[in-house]
Structure 1
Amino acid sequence: MAIEPDPHLSMVRPVSPRSPEGCEECLRLGSPWVHLRLCLTCGHVGCCDSMEPGETWRWCYAHEAMA
């Protein structure tokens, strides 16, 4: 069975971070963030605690799959 490419990859475009100073939710709550993530379709900056230096993978939240 062939793996279909994620259709959301076609939505990836150059974006500017909406909150270049850090994670939008953490800044709103006044809490520290961990590893920052950038949405490649809208520029949302969020964070997550599962990242290693040098990683270059992408995650599709709609399909819950790596892209």
Structure 2
Amino acid sequence: MDDVEQYIKPDVPPSGPGCVECEATDSWWLHLRRCTFCGHIGCCDDSLNKHATKHATTTGHRVIRSYEPGEDWFYDYGTEESFVGPTLAPPLSHPRSQTVPGPHDRVPAQWERLLGS
């Protein structure tokens, strides 16, 4: 792993409880990922829009951490490797009351078919 620390700012809080772009467009997501550089919350690659990867690609912020309750893994898009990272500023996940997929009021009844599950 090449100097991954430069892509992690532990004191930067997350941007909010949901995917920034999905919230702006009234869309929905399956799982959430947190940019460890700027705190941007984006949806995972199993979601329709893949906003976390798009954020990493457009900004160069190549390290993410899961933003799911009970998960603490990091992933480096540059090396395509998972790793154990430092403790980040809270909150470390979306609220446990938030549905997966979410948010509940925007998830279509046929969501599994839409994701190819």
TM-score of Structure 1 vs Structure 2, range by shorter chain = 0.5 to 0.7
Whichever residue aligns with residue 20 of structure 2, its letter is: E
**Larger RCO of the pair (alpha carbons < 8 Å, separation 6+):** 1
Structure 2 unaligned residues grouped into runs of 5+: 47-65, 84-117
Task: Show CA shifts across 1:8-61 (max 9, x none).
Answer: 23431221223x141012112211122221111111111224x77522110112
The residue aligned with 1:36 is 32
Q: Number of residues paired by the alignment?
A: 62
Query: Runs ≥4 in structure 1, deviation > 6 angstroms?
Result: none
TM-score, scaled to structure 2: 0.43
Bigger helix share: 2
TM-score, scaled to structure 1: 0.65
Structure 1 unaligned residues grouped into runs of 5+: none
